[in-house]
Amino acid sequence: MQKNYSLSLSFHALLSIFVVTIAFSVGYFRGWQVERRSNEFALLAQVNDIVKNNFYGKLPDDDVLQRGAARGYVQAVSDQFTVFLDPPARELETQSLQGEFGGVGANLQRNESGDVVLTPIADMPAEKAGVQKGDVLIAVDGKTITKEMTIDQIIALVRGQINTKVMITVQRKSEKLDFTITRQRIELPSVSWRVLEKDSTIGYINVSRFTEKTPNEMKKAVEELQAKKISGAVIDLRGNGGGLLTSVIDTTKLFVDAGVIMIEVQKGEKEKFYNTSDKGVAADMKLALLVNKGTASASEIFAGALRDKGRAPLIGQTTYGKGSVQLIFPLLDSSSIHVTNALWYTPKLTPINGIGLKPDIEVQPGVDGRDPELDRAVEYLKETGK
């Protein structure tokens, strides 16, 4: 079975495949395992029999009942990051962390009435097909959209393989309209960057999450900003809920010299060190990091490593405090479970879990469109000679 490492505040997954195989040479173990499992779940089997034999009414399909049982089992562990994901949620999580998916190019949102309203994105397939802002989605490939369906379930219906077709039915005032749309690759960039208008010598880099594409996107951002002769940069991690372990390690390597980036500790195991041996392309760039209570997990690894190595101060508010690692197990029906497996620490062995990282320069969020955290970061870079 594959195990993938997740470092995310919400559903984030798919990384560092770790396969463990244990071989036994006799059939005795198999028989013992079956007997043991049947004894372990005798109560669940009994409940299943009682409900199926006595419930007055139509029961859900077996797969729905099994997922309900799986969800309840995982919830009983009482760890907020050990979770069960239904197939639609797992698929959306996977797409988000891959940084692309097959879609029609429209945002979906429920209004106060519970209707799913479409907003097509300019020059994307939905707009080109004739979908208009405010159209209410009522069916996908003939499947009626109900108020009981979650947005994740509806999005999963609309998305699919690139170059495949999907028919969406919308209500536009008194008209019911069908649109057959060919899905195209929709990219979800995790890094955006620019030179600040208030000071053309300072770059601004926003990292929304750590996906498979983040290291390359960050390298491109750094190279383009360096080409514009910037002498310092603000990296914005506010609201970054995490992502992939390999991604944040590779991204951090761009900004540091050789040494430890992160330390992982599993119960009963020796400490595992994540290191880099080379000097990163931006190891000499002057930096300031923006953080807040939404900065979590993988983004805390990035922030903790750069601060411990003296590369940048943290400016803003105390981070979320998710210092745990989850293994991701895909299940038979395309659902998955995340299981907390280890804790991680900064290079100086600073604990994070349940604590977070306190900023070096505390600044409260602004109002009315003001951004005092960014202003303070720019001020810091100027004070230190950029």
* pLDDT recorded at residue 37: 53
Co-location of 225 and 86 in the same domain: yes
Side chain identity, residue 191? V
Do 236 and 321 reside in the same domain of the chain? yes
Report DSSP state, residue 206: E
Same domain for 155 and 235, yes or no, is no
The answer to whether residues 234 and 154 belong to one domain is no
Which structural domain range is residue 319 located in?
Answer: 1-99+189-386
259 and 235 both lie in a single domain: yes
**DSSP for residue 285:** S
The rounded Cα 75 to chain-centroid distance in angstroms is 20
351 forms beta bridges with 345
Q: Of 187, 211, 240, which residue constitutes the final position of a domain?
A: 187
Question: CA nearest 227: which of 282, 288, 283, 279?
Answer: 282
**Claim to verify: residue 233 and residue 324 sit in the same structural domain:** yes
Judgement on whether residues 82 and 108 belong to the same structural domain of the protein = no
CA–CA dist 153, 149 (Å, integer) = 6
Here the tokens at position 361 are: 């320069």
Residues 288 and 305: their CA atoms lie apart, in Å, by: 13
End residue of a domain, out of 143, 164, 187:
187
Same-domain status, 358 and 212: yes
Determine contact, residues 220/281, Cβ cutoff 8 Å.
no
Beta bridge partners of 325: 342
Cβ proximity of 381 and 375 under 8 Å:
no
Are residue 227 and residue 342 in the same domain, yes or no?
yes
Residue in the structure block whose two tokens are 């379930």:
153
Q: Are strands 314-316 and 232-236 parallel, antiparallel or unpaired?
A: unpaired
The domain spanning residue 134 has which CATH number?
2.30.42.10
Distance CA 371, CA 194 (A): 16
Out of 164, 187, 210, pick the residue that ends a domain.
Answer: 187
Report the C-alpha gap between 71 and 69 in whole angstroms: 5
From first to last of its 386 residues, what are the pLDDT tens digits of the chain? 445 555 665 433 322 222 222 223 334 444 444 455 557 788 988 999 999 999 999 999 999 999 999 999 999 999 989 999 988 888 878 877 777 789 999 989 898 888 999 999 888 999 999 999 999 999 999 999 998 888 878 988 999 888 999 999 999 999 999 999 999 998 878 999 999 998 999 999 999 999 999 999 999 999 999 999 998 999 999 999 999 999 999 999 999 999 999 999 987 888 999 999 999 999 999 999 999 999 999 999 999 999 999 999 999 999 999 999 888 899 998 899 999 999 999 999 999 999 999 999 999 998 888 999 999 999 999 998 74
Q: Which long-range contacts (CB under 8 A, 24 or more apart) does 360-368 make?
A: 360/307, 360/313, 360/314, 360/315, 361/313, 361/314, 361/315, 361/316, 362/316, 362/317, 363/315, 363/316, 363/317, 364/317, 365/292, 365/317
Catalytic center residues: 297, 308, 322
CA–CA distance, 160 with 151 (Å, rounded to integer): 15
CA distance 243 to 49: 41
Task: Let me know whether 59 and 112 are in one domain.
Answer: no
Q: Cα–Cα distance between 16 and 13 in angstroms, integer?
A: 10
φ, ψ of residue 86 to 5 degrees: the values are -65, 160
Are 225 and 269 in the same domain?
yes
One domain, residues 144 and 61: no
Amino acid at 208: S
pLDDT of residue 188: 79
pLDDT of residue 60: 92
CATH number at residue 308: 3.90.226.10
In angstroms, the CA 303 to CA 236 distance is 10
Residue 301: closest CA among 342, 242, 362, 256: 242
Number of domains in the chain: 2
